A and B are shown apart, each in its own frame.
Chain A
Amino acid sequence: MRASKLILPSIRFRYRLTYLIAALTVLGAGCMFVGFNPLGFFTEFHYVRDLLGEMLMPEFSQVFSNPTVWGSVLQTLSMAFLGTLFGCLAALVLAFCAASNVMPVKWVRISIRALLAITRATPGLVMILIFVIAVGLGAFAGILSLIFITVGTFGKLFAEIIELSDYAPGEAIYSVGAKRVQVIWFAVLPQTLPSFIANMLYAFDINLRTAISLGIFGGGGIGLQLNMAIKVLRYKDATALICLVIVLVVLFEKISDYFRKRILHSVSLH
C-alpha cells in the first residue's frame, strides 16, 4: 500500500467534502445575488426585539369589542367553506373527465389534465389579482380564487383516486348491462366517496389559511383587518388578531381531523 493512501483521507470523505464545498459555494453565491447576509439576522436582531416590545401584550379588549372583527372572522370562514365546497365539486367533475378508467375519449382526458396542471401551477396571488380586477375587492373575489386554487390542488389527486379504485365491481355490473353512468354511480363513486370527503375536510384546512392570506391582497375577511392593523402601525391589535388566527387554524384543524378519522374509520368497518 502506498503511503499516500494512509495519510490522505478516504475517497468517500473527499467526495463528501467536495459536495459540501460545492453546496456552500452555491448557497453563498445565492446570498450574494439577493443581497442577503445570514449574519444580518443576528446583528439586526434588535429590530425584532423592538417590534416584539411594541407587539406585546396583545390588546384583546380593543379588538374583541369591535363587531367588525367577528364579522370578518365569519366572512373568512364562509369564504373558506364556499371555496372548498364549490372547488371540490368542480374538481370532482373534472377528475371524472380526466380519469382513464371512466373517460373513454382520449383528447378530453389529455386537455383536462393539461388544464389541471396549469391551474395547479398558478399561484393564488395571480388568481386573486385577476379576480379583484374582474369583480372588485371583497369576499367574492376571494371565493372565486379559492375555487380555482382548490381545483388546482385537488383535481389531479381526485383523478388519481378514481384511477386507483377497484375495477372489478364496475366490470361486474357492466357485464350484466349497466350503462356507463350507472357504473360510475354504483361502482366507482361508493368506493371513492370516503376519500373524497376526507380530502374535502383537508381542503378546508388549507383553504382557511389561504383565505387569510388572500385577505391581505383584497379578498376581505380577517386577513384584510390584519393587514390594515399592521399598515396603520397598531401592532398590539395586530398581535391580538394573529392570536385569533392561530386559534381559528388550530381549532378547525382539530375538528376536521376528528371528522376525517371518523369517516375513514366508519368505512373500514363495512
Chain B
Amino acid sequence: MTINGFSLKRYRRTVLPLGLLLLVTVLACLDCGVSISQLWEGMVKGFSFLAYMFPPDWSAFGEMLQPVLESIVIAVLGTSFGTFLSLIFAVFAASNLTHPWIRQITRFLIGFERSIPEIIILLILVAAFGLGAMPAIIALTLGCIGMLGKLLADTIEEIDSVMLDSMTSVGANKLQVVFYGILPQILPNLVTYALFRLEINIRLSVILGAVGAGGIGYELEYAFNMLNYHRAMTAFLLILLMVLGTEQVSNLVKKRIKGREVLL
C-alpha cells in the first residue's frame, strides 16, 4: 500500500495500543534501569553460568534422593488435604446447595486466599510454627483450597438441578444429596483438577523448600550459598526429573479417567 493510501483511521486500532505499549515499556525499562542490549547480555551471562555449572557432581546424587522424596511427599500431602478441604468449601460455595449468604462468605474467603501468593503464606506460617514440613504442607493446602474450591464450586453449580430435586423429593437430606448425587458426578473433574494442582504443588514445594520447608529446594539453595555449583547442578537435574516424572504420571492417570465414563 502506498503512502497516499495510508489512512490513520484504518490503523487506529493497532497504532494507538502499540504506541501506548512502547511508552509503558520505555517507562518500565527506565524504572528498572534496564536496556534491551543489557537484557541480551544478561541472558548470555546466565547461560554461560549454566555452562560453568557443568558437570554435575554425581557423588551427591545418592544423598539427594531423600530430599527429593521429602519434596514429593510434602506436595502429595498438601494436595490430598487441600483437595479434601476444598470439597467441603466447594459444597458451601455452590449456589444450588447453600444459602446465598453462606455462598458469598465462602466465595470471598476462597478469593481472598487465592490473591495471596503461597510463598507469603509460607513466610507467615514459618514465623508462627518454625521451620519444617508442617508450614509448607499447610501453605500448599491453603493454596489448593483457593484454586480447587472455586473450580469445584463452579462444577457443582453446573449440575442439573432436576436430579437434585428428585433426590430431595424422595426424602434425601443434604448430606445424602452431596454423597450420592453430587460426589459421583464431580469425581472425574475432582481427580483431574487435583492432579493439575499436584503438578503445581510439586513445583511450589521446591520453591517453598528454599524458604525453610526442607526437601530438594533447600538442598539447591544450600548448594548455591556454599558456592558448590556442581552439587547445585545435580539438584537441578533431579528437580527436572521430578517435575517431568510427575507430569507423565498425571497425564497417564488423566488418560485412564477419560477412558472410563463413570469412575465408581
Contacts and interface: CB of A to CB of B under 8 A. Distances in A.
Interface residues of A, number: 65
Interface in A24-54: 27, 30-31, 33-38, 40-41, 44, 47-48, 50-51
Contacts of A246: 112, 115-116
Interface in B105-133: 111-112, 115-120, 123-125, 127-129, 132-133
A34 B73 contact: yes
A23 to B, nearest CB: 8
Contacts of A216: 119, 123, 211
B160 interface: no
Given A27-B80, A242-B120, A143 B46 contact: no
A159 B48 CA distance: 28
A41 B28 contact: no
Nearest to B45: A134
Contacts of B239: 121-123, 126
Contacts of B50: 130
B134 A140 contact: no
B28 A78 contact: yes
Interface stretch (B54-62, B94-102, B163-171, B240-248): B240-248
Contacts of A235: 127
Contacts of B33: 139-140
B207 A125 contact: yes
B69 A33 contact: yes
Nearest to A230: B123
A133 interface: yes
A213 interface: yes
A199 interface: no
Interface residues of B, number: 64
Interface in B58-109: 69-70, 73-74, 76-77, 80-81
A36 to B, nearest CB: 5
B80 A35 contact: no
B221 A212 contact: no
Nearest to B121: A242
Given A82-B28, A82-B34, A34 B70 contact: yes
Contact of B39 (A129, A143, A209): A143
Contact of A135 (B45, B73, B80, B210): B45
A7 B207 CA distance: 52
Q: What is the interface of chain A mostly: helix, strand, loop, or mixed? A: helix
A131 B220 contact: no
B206 interface: yes
B206 A123 contact: yes
Nearest to B47: A134
Given A121-B247, A130-B46, A131-B42, A33 B34 contact: no
B70 A33 contact: yes
9 contacts: A31-B77, A37-B134, A48-B128, A81-B24, A81-B25, A82-B34, A140-B32, A246-B112, A246-B115
Interface of B: 21, 24-25, 27-29, 31-34, 38-39, 42-43, 45-46, 48-50, 69-70, 73-74, 76-77, 80-81, 111-112, 115-120, 123-125, 127-129, 132-134, 137-138, 203, 206-207, 210-211, 214, 217, 220-221, 224, 232, 236, 239-240, 243-244, 247, 264
Given A48-B125, A140-B33, 12 more contacts: A30-B76, A36-B134, A48-B129, A78-B31, A118-B240, A125-B206, A125-B221, A129-B232, A130-B50, A209-B117, A213-B118, A213-B120
Interface of A: 16, 23, 27, 30-31, 33-38, 40-41, 44, 47-48, 50-51, 55, 74-75, 77-79, 81-82, 85-86, 117-118, 121-126, 129-131, 133-135, 139-141, 143-144, 147, 209, 212-213, 216-217, 223, 226-227, 230, 235, 238, 242, 245-246, 249-250, 253
